[in-house]
Amino acid sequence: MIVAKNVHKSFGHLEVLRGIDLHVKEQEVVVIIGPSGSGKSTFLRCLNLLEEPTSGEIIIDGMCLTDKTSDINKIRQNVGMVFQRFNLFPHKTALENITLAPIKVKGLTENEAIAIARDLLGKVGLQDKESSYPDQLSGGQQQRVAIARALAMKPKVMLFDEPTSALDPEMVGEVLAVMKDLARDGMTMVVVTHEMGFAREVGDRVLFIDEGKVIEEGTPEQIFGNPQNERTRSFLNKIL
Amino acid sequence: MELLQIWKDALPVLMVGLKLTIQLTVLAVFFGSIIGLFVGLGKMSRIPLIKIPSVVYVEFFRGSPLLVQIFLIYFGLSQVLGHSVDKFWSSVAVLSLNSGAYCAEIFRAGIQSIERGQMEAARSLGMTHTQAMRYVILPQAFKRVIPPLGNEFIAMLKDTSLVSVIGLVELARSGQLIVSTTYNAFQIWFLVAIFYIVLTVLISEFFVNRMERRLQAGDRS
């Protein structure tokens, strides 16, 4: 479903990604962990071209993102993204946040889009919040709306960029629960997170990234139970 | 009650000037904000053919005195065309162009004040840059530019007095005409000042405050 080959990214002289490879199968949940500044978020953002890789190739569902001739707006419809800071549209209600792109991008009628949005709000447990504005919702609720907004485009892949890092501790659980449901329903997911419990429980595969390279890769059991690389061990020691 | 009599006598002439001032302001503000929106967007463009003219335009109309611009457009255009141009419409044109330069900076600042994440979220949903601007960025930016835009409109209202130099009898010029025949300088200029103040208060009350309240949806914190 996702193939990334030798992805490099530099900001000026700063080399953030130094050749990352990733293959994600359909319905697979890949969790990316690593210290801050390791390039894990930058890599995730390359996967829908919010950052343009300096070199390398990224193919999602058979379409090459890094090919200049491909229609990036078309590809992005298949790649949902959830941000650390939610990025809900503050001038629109929860329902309007979800229906905007299906109506304007996919050309759905308002009624079709509303039906989808209500269904998704139900799934994330917020059916009673459809007319609330983002600043009337808690962080956890906002993030759940943001997940519903991404799902409304019926993406084939979902990218999560530290989705619980901006949340108060008591709200982390509700967002992770939604993500677990999504994984169980067979969504292909790439998740950058510091939630090791989630990585262990939901991840099919864990990537440890440091200094712009994949240092170690394996099942959660391998990475958390028996890490091979010294850097992986010292990182896990610090956060667990 | 000599003062009231002086004011009463002046009123018919002042009203004619007032009407012209309002017309000039409304038209200049209307065209100025449309020009400003597009030039503001143009200044942020990555395409040099759009960006450079936008920058030059703003620098020209912001960097030279309005008085010079009025002479330039009215007398300059008349000379180039070989016949005199309409005073009213050349005034509207020059005031709009001048206001457009200031509005461009106001819109640009408003758009750039919207967090980057908003554009990223919109684009990640598959929207084009134009769609993201139209449905996500601009509605939020409009709300933020209302106060500075209100200031610009008030400044424009007062600046319309400058077109009196090419012979348009707007509010200030109509006062001057009355003073030159009656010599009641203090009484008349005081009334003219009050007229301007009433207009600016009306703009800030009905335009700025009401619009701000109306656009406050989703911004209750």
Domains of chain B: 2-220 (1.10.3720.10)
Per-residue pLDDT, B221: 41
Tokens for A205?
A: 């595969």
pTM comes to 0.87
Do residues A84 and A67 touch, judged by C-beta distance below 8 A? no
**Long-range contact set of residues B141-144: C-beta below 8 Å, sequence gap at least 24:** B141/B107, B141/B110, B141/B111, B141/B113, B141/B114, B142/B110, B142/B215, B143/A91, B143/B212, B143/B215, B143/B216, B143/B219, B144/B110, B144/B113, B144/B114
Decide: helix, strand or coil at residue B86: coil
Per-residue pLDDT, B1: 66
| Nearest CA distance, B213 vs chain A (angstrom) | 13
Give me the mean pLDDT over the A43-60 stretch. 95
For tokens 């491909």, what's the residue?
A70
First vs last C-alpha separation in chain B: 53
Q: How far apart are CA A57 and CA A90, in angstroms?
A: 35
Spatial neighbors of A200 by CB under 8 A, at least 6 apart, are A220, A224
Do residues A57 and A4 touch, judged by C-beta distance below 8 A? yes
Q: How far apart are CA B110 and CA B120, in angstroms?
A: 17
Cβ pair A92:B125 closer than 8 A:
no
Least CB–CB distance from A105: residue in B117, B125, B140: B125
Cβ pair A101:B126 closer than 8 A:
yes
Give me the mean pLDDT over the A65-92 stretch. 94
What confidence category does residue A150 fall into, taking pLDDT thresholds of 50, 70 and 90? very high
Per-residue pLDDT, B179: 94
Identify which of B70, B25, B60, B64 has the alpha carbon closest to the alpha carbon of residue B39: B60
Low-confidence ranges of chain B (pLDDT < 50): 220-221
| Nearest CA distance, B115 vs chain A (angstrom) | 9
Report chain A residues whose CB lies below 8 A from the CB of B115: 87
Interface mutation target, options B125, B135, B215, B216, chain A, most CBs of A under 10 Å? B125
Over residues A180-238, the pLDDT tens digits come to 999 999 999 999 999 999 999 999 999 999 999 999 999 999 999 999 999 999 999 98
Over residues B90-146, the pLDDT tens digits come to 999 999 999 999 999 999 999 999 999 999 999 999 999 999 999 999 999 998 998
CATH number at residue A167: 3.40.50.300
Least CB–CB distance from B124: residue in A74, A76, A100: A76
Report chain A residues whose CB lies below 8 A from the CB of B218: 90-93, 133-135
Q: Can you give the residue range of the structural domain that contains A190?
A: 2-237
First vs last C-alpha separation in chain A: 31
Give me the mean pLDDT over the A174-182 stretch. 96
Report chain A residues whose CB lies below 8 A from the CB of B136: 89, 100
Domain count of the fold of chain A: 1
- Provide the residue type at A160 as one letter: F
Q: How many CA atoms lie within 13 A of A110 on its CB side?
A: 2
Over residues A122-137, the pLDDT tens digits come to 999 999 999 999 999 9
Tokens for A81?
A: 């993204």
User: CA A221: distance to chain centroid?
Assistant: 22
Describe the crossing of helices B171-182 and B185-202 by its angle, rounded to 10 degrees: 170
